[in-house]
Amino acid sequence: MNDAYQGPTITSELGRLPIEAAADRNRLSRGTAGEVLDMIDGAPVAELLREHGSPLFVFSETTLRRKLRHFREAFTSRYKSMSFAWSFKTNRLDAICKIMKDEGWAAEVVSDFEYQKARRLGYEGSQIVYNGPYKSRASLKTALEEGALIQIDSWDELAVVEDLVEELDDTFDVGLRVWLTTGHAPVWSKFGFSMINGEAQQAARRIIRNPRFRLHTIHCHVGTYVLDPETYGVATQILLGMRKNLSDDTGHLVPCLNLGGGFPSNSLLHGMIGPAEVVIPPIEDYADAIATELNALPKRDRPLLRLESGRFLVDEAGYLITTIVAIKGGPRPDAPAETLSSIVVKEQMLLSDTARLSYVLDAGINLLFTANWFAIQPYPGRRVETLPVPTRLLGCLCMEIDVIRDHVDLPRLQTGDHLTFHPVGAYNFDQSMQFIYLRPAVVLIGTDRKVHQIRRKETLDDIESAETLPAHLSG
Ligand SMILES: Cc1ncc(COP(=O)(O)O)c(C=O)c1O
């Protein structure tokens, strides 16, 4: 027998470079190869750009319908009495809102412009929930006349609505927006009546006492991208407590609770460690938290539960395809990719920001406003066989703060390469701005895989048609 010590045999067991092997063993890593996105629902990215120009917003009807059905199923399988509304401000493109309507979702609007848009899209007044901190008197009157549910946000608004119902000489269902604390930070206290100082209860009693009103809904929206499902369990408990107190005091059992939106999509905030599918709780956990509270009530006392989701439903359905228009910093642009040794990479990381490898894109925060908070993932349009290097993605605006990603690992790309950002379907189109560039085209890839242009690229005429030169400046 040979007792001599035998050292372990060290091999590159995966047959790959050590850096790649290490990354592959890391539970949170996706490996170093990096994902490529060259097709969206069967449509080649390069062809989409040839046809519609770059940058380009792309929406997937298949993904959107899948998310809607997933959300609906998660809640209706746990609680029977449900109503679903679509938060228009999350994405108000006609085609997107029509899909929501087609799937049976009511409209949740927050301004008189959105109200008109919903009506034009064929929503009846009775299919509209009207929220928001400022609703003009004229729009409140129209909403009452057309049977929309106004969710009253302040004492001033309550006074206007009280005044209007006298004029209109009828009785109306209304809702009341409240804010509360659940332990989730930050607390959204800008909207509605406070439950903490009792004004929400006071406003509710004033509405119930008025024979022209029926208090139909108590509504709260605790925030957006809420990562703790239990927040909703606590909010439900608090609203049920308020409903019970009101019922005990006045005999009126409010028929509907509206818990707003706020359910997260598969996106990460800057600084969060992913992958998103691991970090973001599934929608079923949120449905459980709410349904557990509601199902604890005797059947006859259970309210209608309304939800008005946005981000969860549409974010993953949206992509923004961009093109690299310039490369700055890093190794010389004409250096062959193989020269990007680890020493060069280290040098780049140690050098100042301006020397870092940066790609200038033909889109910036003018189109990706949510990039201020979210680390939106860029996917190259082709596979590049170099190791990823720390890269900065700069937008095309003349603003130093227009940086879409300050640090993202990408393989070495060339001017003219495409980067597709995903998910970007929530809020980015609606919050896009015409600061130095006009908005690009938007296409929808239908469930039939056909590409439909749903918004054309804007032109100078679109902007100028709203302007007038005074006589002394024209000519
Ligand atoms: C009143 C109200 N309801 C619903 C939503 C939709 O929220 P989310 O996109 O987080 O689902 C919002 C957005 O903040 C809102 O203010």
Q: What is the model's pLDDT at position 350? A: 56
pLDDT per residue as tens digits for the range 358-367 = 999 999 999 9
Which neighbouring-strand residues pair with 150? 130, 174
Say what the pTM is: 0.90
pLDDT in tens, 101-154: 999 999 999 999 999 999 999 999 999 999 999 999 999 999 999 999 999 999
Average pLDDT, stretch 447-454?
A: 97
Per residue in 205-262, pLDDT (tens digit) is: 999 999 999 999 999 999 999 999 999 999 999 999 999 999 999 999 999 999 999 9
Sorted by sequence, the CB contacts under 8 Å of residue 342 that are 6+ apart come out as none
CA of 418 to the centre of ligand 1 (A): 32
27 pLDDT more than 50: no
C-alpha 90 to ligand 1 mean position (Å): 8
Ligand 1 and 131: CB distance under 6 A: yes
The answer to whether residue 327 scores a pLDDT higher than 90 is: yes
Among protein residues, the one whose CA lies closest to atom 14 of ligand 1? 224
- List, by residue range, all CATH 3.20.20.10 domains of the chain: 92-309
Looking at domain 92-309, its CATH superfamily turns out to be Alanine racemase (3.20.20.10)
Strand partners of residue 177: 219
84 C-alpha to ligand 1 centroid (Å): 13
∠ CA(454), CA(436), CA(60), 5° rounding? 25
The 8-class DSSP code of residue 428 comes to T
Neighbours of 416 (CB within 10 A): 9
21 φ/ψ angles, rounded to the nearest 5 degrees: -60, -40
Ligand 1 pocket residue status of 175, Cβ below 6 Å: no
**Among 377, 345, 449, which residue's Cα sits nearest to residue 36?**
377
Q: Is the pLDDT of residue 326 over 80?
A: yes
> Using a 6 Å cutoff on CB, does residue 308 contact ligand 1?
yes
> What is the rounded average pLDDT for all residues in the chain?
91
**Alpha carbon separation from 92 to 88, 114, 186, 266, 432 (Å, rounded):** 5, 8, 26, 21, 12
Q: Which residues contact 12 (CB under 8 A, 6 or more apart)?
A: 18, 21
Find out whether the beta carbon of 111 lies less than 6 Å from any atom of ligand 1. no
Q: 420 CB less than 6 Å from ligand 1?
A: no
CATH 2.40.37.10 maps onto the chain at 31-58+317-458
The residue among 395, 428, 455 whose CA lies nearest residue 315 is 428
CA of 131, closest atom in ligand 1: 1
Least confident residue range of 65-74, 95-104, 185-194, 315-324: 185-194
- Nearest atom in ligand 1 to the alpha carbon of residue 151 is 1
CA atoms within 13 A on the CB side of 118: 32
At residue 329, does pLDDT exceed 90? no
CATH of 31-58+317-458, one of 1.10.520.20, 2.40.37.10, 3.40.50.920, 2.60.40.10: 2.40.37.10
Asked if 86 contacts 97 with a C-beta cutoff of 8 angstroms, the reply is yes
With the most atoms of ligand 1 within 8 angstroms of its CB, the residue from 221, 226, 306, 428 to mutate is 221
Query: For 183-209, what is each residue's pLDDT tens digit?
Result: 877 788 889 999 999 999 999 999 999
Cα(198) to ligand 1 centroid in Å equals: 24
pLDDT number for residue 396: 97
Choose among 444, 456, 463: nearest CA to 62. Answer: 444
Spacing, Cα 111 to ligand 1 middle (Å): 13
Quickly state the pLDDT bin for 310 (edges 50, 70, 90): very high
